[in-house]
Structure 1
Amino acid sequence: MSDPDPGPEPGAPEERPGVRTPRAWPVIGGRRLAAAPVVVVAVTVAVAVATGGTLWAFGSFDSSRSTGDGAKDGSAKGPTAVEVSLGACGKGWRGGSAGPQTFALHNTSSTAAEVDLIDRATGAVHGEIEGLAPGTTRELRVVLGGGSYAFTCLPDDAAAITGPTVRIEGPATGGGPAAVPVTQHDLIPVALAHQRWVADRTVELAELTAELKRAVDDGDLDAARTAWLSAHLVYARMGGAYDAFGAAGEAIDGSGPAPSGAASAKDFEGFHRVEYGLWHGESAASLRGPADRLAQAVHALRDSWPQQRLDPAQLGLRAHEILEDTARSELTGRTDYGSGTNLATARANLDGTRELLGGLRPLLTSRYPDLPRLDAWLDRTQHTLDRFGEGGHWTPLERLGRQDRQRLNSDIGQAVELLAPVATICDARRTA
């Protein structure tokens, strides 16, 4: 499918084709989210103001400046030294003017601590550092508007301590991103609801893999190919729970070398082993064993799932990672073992992302101002992918024209960019 680019859909965000950007992912607990390769995205630091976009991230620290003796940044005016301890949380900060702020947070206590910079009026977090070890210093950089702020110190195995309130003079607008903390308690109902949804998918998956096995047993390889795709797409929608699948998930997913690096079909199992045989001319007899083992693994997952528990703290991260993995694996063809259905899998991954996002939406509505923009880009991405699967026949990656490839990479890249703040906002935080 290589028809000309139809341009933005009505109501879709403006696309900026050809703009390749450096990644500036939000920091979660001092760890930067990995960047997805081979994507062209539409929002950069340089154009954020011009397009009205926001490169969303809490205040972050520069680990290269972490020291044990209060490092300075080499500027004429060094960072504001702030003490972190049980008895003097936030000592050293006396306020100032609105705009960029740099703090050198020094832990003078005998235990590691998390440190949050909060808005005293709303409780929103503007900056955070996790795991500040005793005797060490890290720089925290934020942009603050006018208002009242304080540092909250959360030592390991001790209650939170909020330091003195300080006043920043200036307009209240213009500050960097901030959000009221999401707690483990907030996320538990979301996790339980998603677990029930996954339970229903495991039943559906078991039925479809049984259909696949019957087709292979009957020697009907055309029916087996159809059943394989239906079953595989159900599994691809369950990405929010992959981390909890354990050994059954490994057997289903068929972890192993990429097709180009496989010495033979014996190098991998699960869906990809069956895929390899169905699209490489293997006989039905040779596929009965792999199809049977796949069905057994799926039934094991279905039967064991009620005893599993999703980690609520991982839900926001998974909402971002599903499409990030799509860009890394499906859009590069690394997971194509012969069927040419990477774009169908990408479309199912998008469904999985939206399912997770739907559960998190009540928490995000008041915390993420770019949520409507994210929804618009997910709609756009869905429309783009659906064009490659008209009539149920999916275009293989190698048949995409240059314009189609660029638009697909751009759409998914922008969606991934806008999903990154979901991971940041929904990272469960202590408040006491």
Structure 2
Amino acid sequence: MIRPRIPRGRRGLLASGGALVAVAVAVAVLVSAVGGTGRTAVRRSATYPDGLPHTRVTVSAGGCGQGWTSGRAGDQVFDVHNASSGPAEVDLVDPGTGAVYGEVEGLAPDTTRPLQVTLGGGSYAFKCLPDDADALTGPTVRIAGPAQAGPAAVPVTQHDLIPPTIAYQQWIGGQMGQLADKVGALRDAIDSGDFDAARAAWLPAHLVYERMGAAYGTFGDADKAINGTTAGLPQGTSDPRFTGFHRIEYGLWHGQSGDQLRGPADQLAKDVDQLRSTWPQARMDPAQLGLRAHEILENTEQFELTGRTDYGSGSNLATARANLDGTTTALGYLRPLLTTARLPQLPRVDAALDRVRHTLDGFGSDGHWSALNALSRAQREQVNADVGAAVEQLAAVAAVCDVRRTS
């Protein structure tokens, strides 16, 4: 199910229950949102409950990472203090490759935040990116030893994301004709009064739309018109603003007449034609493609696997399978950016998606799908577990593809 959502940045993707957690993604960072001042900032000699060594580093108008001159390997915490007059992002990087080992976003003036990292043998430096000012890289600190550093990610820039976004947008344009044809077949069946044919035509048309999931933010109001639900509508299924696929689904599976359904079917065809005609002028935001690849299955978990979008057809599992196709399509266009240097656990992402595919395919054959409420408890638990695991893995893709400043 395509749902408008509030875009979230890296911090939202790494948060759980309001607390920031360490995640084994390409950027491994624990940024606790606790403020402090220069007067209350912890000192190097203090004893810390986490049992880790702490080093205080300072960001100022003319310097970055001041206070760190020698390093040790292993788990440790940098207490990053902003002594400048404006907010800044602070990254711990490999100065040779630009790979990011940890980051603190939106560090306000006179504020201290802890940055936990695992360092191995190699060269490191702090890079400070103040708002409305050029980046500044601090001195390089070399650490000796065979210890292995934690995960790092070579930043993805807006420029990197433009080619895959354009290619994906062109793919969406190629699907528009198929969508219009299948919606036309659905409308014709309703016009002729052949409701068996209309019910058979509804699902194939709907699934074409569901496979286009990473574009929903660019569809704008058309998404609500084409694929909206009764959420927020005071009259529910009788509300005149309830339109699109689910309005027709409700009517076809609740015995409504041709007179009741012809208007919604005509409107759906018009809305699809309008979307198709305006799509060539649309512009997808490159910074959102990685986030959408994660959110498609997140929406599936929230709306399809709970049955909240079932208006009578019992096709939630078919929709979930189409959403999986949408996820893998978006991921395919991003794959050239997801190198080992950026996402070493990409094979785990693929394995998680393969498990979801195998599980869902067990409930459908020749266009016929089991209804969600026909599954046993063990089957529901398996579906939920597999999709949930894939959503967790895809959070890494969204985190890696979140655009970072490099200068």
* Structure 1 residue runs without a partner (length 5+): 1-26, 37-43, 49-53
* Residue equivalent to 1:217: 191
Which of 370, 375, 390 is residue 345 of structure 2 equivalent to?
Answer: 370
Which of 33, 36, 49 is residue 67 of structure 1 equivalent to?
Answer: 36
Q: Cα–Cα, structure 1 residues 244 and 33, in superposed 2: closer, same or farther, change >3 Å?
A: farther
TM-superposed deviation, 1:138: 1.8
Counterpart of 2:36 in structure 1: which amino acid? T
Which of 165, 171, 176 is residue 150 of structure 2 equivalent to?
Answer: 176
Does 1:31 pair with 2:1? Answer: no
The 1-side partners of 2:382 and 2:10 are apart by 33
TM-superposed deviation, 1:35: 6.3
* Residue equivalent to 2:377: 402
Q: Is the 1:30–1:129 Cα contact (8 Å) retained in structure 2?
A: no
* Residue equivalent to 1:13: none
TM-superposed deviation, 1:334: 0.8
SS state at 1:430 partner: coil
TM-superposed deviation, 1:301: 0.8
Q: Is the 1:86–1:153 Cα contact (8 Å) retained in structure 2?
A: no
Which of 287, 310, 314 is residue 288 of structure 2 equivalent to?
Answer: 314
* Residue equivalent to 2:213: 239
The 2-side partners of 1:311 and 1:195 are apart by 10
The 2-side partners of 1:208 and 1:279 are apart by 19
The 2-side partners of 1:374 and 1:254 are apart by 30
Counterpart of 2:193 in structure 1: which amino acid? G
The 2-side partners of 1:120 and 1:339 are apart by 56
TM-superposed deviation, 1:122: 2.7
The 1-side partners of 2:59 and 2:313 are apart by 57
* Structure 2 residue runs without a partner (length 5+): 1-7
Which of 141, 163, 167 is residue 142 of structure 2 equivalent to?
Answer: 167
Does 1:126 pair with 2:101? Answer: yes
TM-superposed deviation, 1:170: 2.7
The 2-side partners of 1:214 and 1:197 are apart by 27
TM-superposed deviation, 1:262: 3.1
* Residue equivalent to 2:72: 97
SS state at 1:431 partner: coil
Q: Is the 2:25–2:343 Cα contact (8 Å) retained in structure 1?
A: no
* Residue equivalent to 1:333: 307
TM-superposed deviation, 1:411: 1.5
TM-superposed deviation, 1:104: 1.8
TM-superposed deviation, 1:306: 1.0
Q: Is the 2:229–2:309 Cα contact (8 Å) retained in structure 1?
A: no
The 1-side partners of 2:394 and 2:237 are apart by 37
TM-superposed deviation, 1:236: 0.5
* Residue equivalent to 1:15: none
SS state at 2:250 partner: helix
* Residue equivalent to 2:248: 274
SS state at 2:189 partner: helix
Counterpart of 2:80 in structure 1: which amino acid? L
Deviates more, 1:265-274 or 1:358-367: 265-274
Q: Is the 1:30–1:60 Cα contact (8 Å) retained in structure 2?
A: no
SS state at 2:337 partner: helix
Q: CA RMSD in A?
A: 2.5
Q: Is the 2:121–2:146 Cα contact (8 Å) retained in structure 1?
A: yes
Report runs of 4+ in structure 1 exceeding 4 Å deviation. 33-36, 54-57, 258-261
Deviates more, 1:239-248 or 1:121-130: 121-130
Does 1:298 pair with 2:279? Answer: no
TM-superposed deviation, 1:258: 8.5
Aligned length: 390
Q: Cα–Cα, structure 1 residues 428 and 122, in superposed 2: closer, same or farther, change >3 Å?
A: same
* Residue equivalent to 2:180: 206
The 1-side partners of 2:224 and 2:85 are apart by 42
* Residue equivalent to 1:140: 115
Does 1:342 pair with 2:311? Answer: no
TM-superposed deviation, 1:94: 2.1
TM-score, normalized by length of structure 1?
0.84
SS state at 2:103 partner: strand
Q: Deviations over 1:131-180 (max 9, x none)?
A: 2222222221111112110010111222211100112333242x222111
The 2-side partners of 1:225 and 1:112 are apart by 56
SS state at 2:114 partner: strand
Q: Deviations over 1:307-342 (max 9, x none)?
A: 111111111111111111111111111111111000
SS state at 1:352 partner: helix
Q: Is the 1:258–1:335 Cα contact (8 Å) retained in structure 2?
A: no
* Residue equivalent to 2:332: 358
The 1-side partners of 2:36 and 2:193 are apart by 67
* Residue equivalent to 2:5: none
The 2-side partners of 1:221 and 1:137 are apart by 65
SS state at 2:153 partner: coil
SS state at 1:206 partner: helix
Q: Cα–Cα, structure 1 residues 71 and 221, in superposed 2: closer, same or farther, change >3 Å?
A: farther
Does 1:252 pair with 2:221? Answer: no
Q: Is the 2:26–2:153 Cα contact (8 Å) retained in structure 1?
A: no
Counterpart of 2:11 in structure 1: which amino acid? G
TM-superposed deviation, 1:111: 2.3
* Residue equivalent to 1:5: none
Q: Is the 1:239–1:349 Cα contact (8 Å) retained in structure 2?
A: yes
* Residue equivalent to 2:4: none
TM-superposed deviation, 1:263: 6.0
* Residue equivalent to 2:396: 421
The 1-side partners of 2:359 and 2:236 are apart by 32
* Residue equivalent to 1:286: 260
TM-superposed deviation, 1:96: 2.3
Does 1:79 pair with 2:54? Answer: yes
TM-score, normalized by length of structure 2?
0.89
Q: Cα–Cα, structure 1 residues 247 and 411, in superposed 2: closer, same or farther, change >3 Å?
A: same
The 1-side partners of 2:12 and 2:378 are apart by 35
Counterpart of 1:113 in structure 2: which amino acid? A
Q: Cα–Cα, structure 1 residues 248 and 260, in superposed 2: closer, same or farther, change >3 Å?
A: closer
SS state at 2:89 partner: strand
The 2-side partners of 1:67 and 1:297 are apart by 53
